[in-house]
Structure 1
Amino acid sequence: MEIPPGPEPAIAVDDLSMTYRVPLRDAGLIAAARAVVRRQYRDVNAVQNVSFQITAGQVVGFLGRNGAGKTTTMKILAGILHPTGGRVRVLGHTPWRRHHQYLREIALIRGSQPIGDAPELTVLDSFRYQQVLYRIAESEFRNNLAELSALLDLDSILQRQVRALSLGERMRAGLALALVYRPKVLFLDEPTIGLDTSAAKAVRTFIAEYSAQTGATVLLTSHSMADVESLCPRLILVDGGAIAFDGRRDELRSVFAPTKLIRVTVTADDSDLTRYGDVLQREGNQWLLRVDRAAAPATTARILAGFEVADLSVEEPSLDSVMDQAYQRLRRTKSAVS
């Protein structure tokens, strides 16, 4: 996919590839000794010919199974890794050149390591270090810190050491630390991992508000479909290092889960709805049926005409279910090709 002329998108990826050389050896002492003088390798294609564009202000989910190439791609976009092929532009910069101006405009936030490697510092010390590192003027720093502290409820932990924080507190502090210099692009890698329901919801709300207020572009990878459902209208699905889907969230359902759910409560105990769809659940007079998406209107009409119905609703399958069906289909396709 060639990057078209005109205003450059916030993120433009063209034919990106990343191949690792991995050392190989057999088990045992003899094999270990032999590997010292004659080491063998194999190539692992972590990312293969990936192309996509993200316009400024979009919040995009970057999804896939473990080992699909998500984190590798994120690290390339953040300038941590140098790819083996392809072209990448983020805010007009080539990420792996790591120009100072570029690093001032992006943030990589990892839920597994939200606030850096200095646990002996207080949270406020960490912010002050960030101020020096990114050359933030004192007035701007104070204003940004005050706003972030209010939004993320940080006042009570600013004087505490990082090592003494709970996971939820570390995540909130890490988010604020990454945003105190107001980056224009956020790369979020599992931002709510390990958080309880309340803390995860607070983080999602903050990310949405930050993007809406500042126009920041967000690329998010997460195994939590609650993150994806609440934040990402557009989804990019990668599998085996290549893009398997790129489009709106509702389109993903149409492509990989072309079904709907009919939840119906009938009044008669002896009602039999088995012929109207796949029965996923039945509890007394309550039925949950799965039907083809195109057949849902006609099926609901037949049920309403044939039974005394106390309640009926037509639902989309959960995003967790859709992703599971997507992975299963991709696995079957890959097996058939091989």
Structure 2
Amino acid sequence: MNDAITVRNLKKEFKAYSSRAGLKGAFRDLLTRNYKIVPAVNNISFNVKQGEMVGYIGENGAGKSTTIKMLTGILTPTSGEVIVNGMNPHKDREKFVSTIGVVFGQRSQLWWDIAVQESFRLLKKVYKVSDEQYDSHMAHVIKTLDIEPLLDKPVRKLSLGQRMRCELAAALIHNPPLLFLDEPTIGLDVLVKLKIREFLKEINEKYNTTILLTTHDLSDIEALCERVVMLDDGKIIYDGALKSLKEKWGEGKEIEFQFLEEVDLSDLNKITASSEVKWEKDEKEAIFTAFVEDNDELISLLIAKVVADLKVKDINIKETSTEEIIRNIYDRGIS
């Protein structure tokens, strides 16, 4: 399988102005300015295979958007190598842009005062898409994203959710093999998010479209991506399967029990004395929670022991959320 994206030792540094303190410092700044070099992306390397859906995640200021801008040719790297769809994004600019689609959640590629379908027609001309290609491909996109009723409306009259669906359609007019999504579901309601996720899965399966997704909404990552690349302070701190991340840094599982009869913590400790389990009781809700290692056999054995001795009303198994795992990694570091 060919690589859609190849990044080797990529760096991007910015020159930042720093002001001196006090009135004297302000006068000195008029004559000479102090600058410092700030690395936004610091010597990163990774590959994305054709057809992969990869989550590119990190805190604000970690370097996600800077990376995307270099991968799309908007920014020129300070050093390192970037090959996307077999081309250098900032050198082969004109040819390159016809092979990618880009959606920035906080920027629009649609013209504000004209109808959505007019923006689509303009983009069709820009990308030199034939009428036949446009009709066959966009009919499917428009139907799946449910934007037909919006086509004759000016963009300024659309809600955020409606506009984002139209932005996504606009990015796919030329049916690119690679799609960059930077915060595509920011501020959207649950139903619109679900519609967009389903659509992305569909185009990935139908056209083998490669998708690189940056977002702070980790439910998007969980729904779409099997692999994540995690960035911190401009460096990659994790690159691998989302499942492995959860298995390695997830802190076990919580099993909540509700009983039909009154139960004591001492009773539960006796029943599970031979197992490595810690019990807690929520007095208000009358819920007992067992904290155990994330091991299917241990969990099954624990439940069997409790059910054999006590009358159970309800059981709920909760695992550590991806959001919590990633927050813990940023707080305590990865090792």
Q: TM-score, normalised by structure 1?
A: 0.88
Confirm whether residue 108 of structure 1 aligns to residue 102 of structure 2.
yes
**Over the residues paired in the alignment, what is the CA RMSD in angstroms?**
2.3
Task: Give runs of aligned pairs for residues 135-284 of structure 1, distance below 5 A.
Answer: 135-272=128-265, 276-277=277-278, 279=280, 283-284=284-285
Q: Distance in 2 between matches of 1:188 and 1:325?
A: 25
Q: Distance in 1 between matches of 2:316 and 2:158?
A: 45
Change (3 A) 1:237 1:143: same
Q: Distance in 1 between matches of 2:125 and 2:281?
A: 58
Residue 159 of structure 1: CA displacement? 1.4
- CA offsets, 1:72-130, max 9 Å, x none? 111111111111121111111111214322110112211112434x3122111111110
Is the contact between residue 257 and residue 325 of structure 1 (CA under 8 Å) also seen in structure 2?
no
Q: Distance in 1 between matches of 2:217 and 2:225?
A: 12
- CA offsets, 1:195-223, max 9 Å, x none? 11111111111111111111010010111
Confirm whether residue 292 of structure 1 aligns to residue 286 of structure 2.
no
- The partner residue of 1:322 within 300, 325, 328 is 325
Residue 231 of structure 1: CA displacement? 0.5
Partner AA of 1:184 in structure 2: P
Partner AA of 2:241 in structure 1: R
Confirm whether residue 78 of structure 1 aligns to residue 72 of structure 2.
yes
Give 3-state SS (helix, strand or coil) of 2:3's partner: coil
Is the contact between residue 73 and residue 93 of structure 2 (CA under 8 Å) also seen in structure 1?
no
Change (3 A) 1:293 1:46: same
Give 3-state SS (helix, strand or coil) of 1:252's partner: helix
Change (3 A) 1:302 1:85: farther
Match of 1:17 in 2: 11
Q: Distance in 1 between matches of 2:126 and 2:166?
A: 17
Q: Distance in 1 between matches of 2:168 and 2:236?
A: 28
Give 3-state SS (helix, strand or coil) of 1:96's partner: coil
Partner AA of 1:194 in structure 2: G
Confirm whether residue 93 of structure 1 aligns to residue 96 of structure 2.
no
Change (3 A) 1:310 1:175: same
Moved more, 144-153 or 304-313: 304-313
Residue 263 of structure 1: CA displacement? 2.1
Partner AA of 1:176 in structure 2: A
Q: Distance in 2 between matches of 1:196 and 1:54?
A: 30
Match of 2:116 in 1: 123
**% identical aligned pairs:** 33
Change (3 A) 1:57 1:31: same
Q: Distance in 2 between matches of 1:71 and 1:251?
A: 25
Partner AA of 2:129 in structure 1: I
Is the contact between residue 13 and residue 87 of structure 1 (CA under 8 Å) also seen in structure 2?
yes
Q: TM-score, normalised by structure 2?
A: 0.89
Is the contact between residue 11 and residue 55 of structure 1 (CA under 8 Å) also seen in structure 2?
yes
Change (3 A) 1:143 1:206: same
Q: Distance in 2 between matches of 1:233 and 1:263?
A: 28
Unaligned runs of 5+ in 2: 270-276
Partner AA of 2:198 in structure 1: T
Is the contact between residue 17 and residue 35 of structure 2 (CA under 8 Å) also seen in structure 1?
yes
Give 3-state SS (helix, strand or coil) of 1:46's partner: strand
Is the contact between residue 2 and residue 50 of structure 2 (CA under 8 Å) also seen in structure 1?
no
Residue 307 of structure 1: CA displacement? 3.8
Is the contact between residue 269 and residue 284 of structure 1 (CA under 8 Å) also seen in structure 2?
no
Partner AA of 1:158 in structure 2: L
Partner AA of 1:277 in structure 2: K
Q: Distance in 2 between matches of 1:63 and 1:309?
A: 41
Confirm whether residue 63 of structure 1 aligns to residue 63 of structure 2.
no
Change (3 A) 1:195 1:282: farther
Match of 1:336 in 2: none
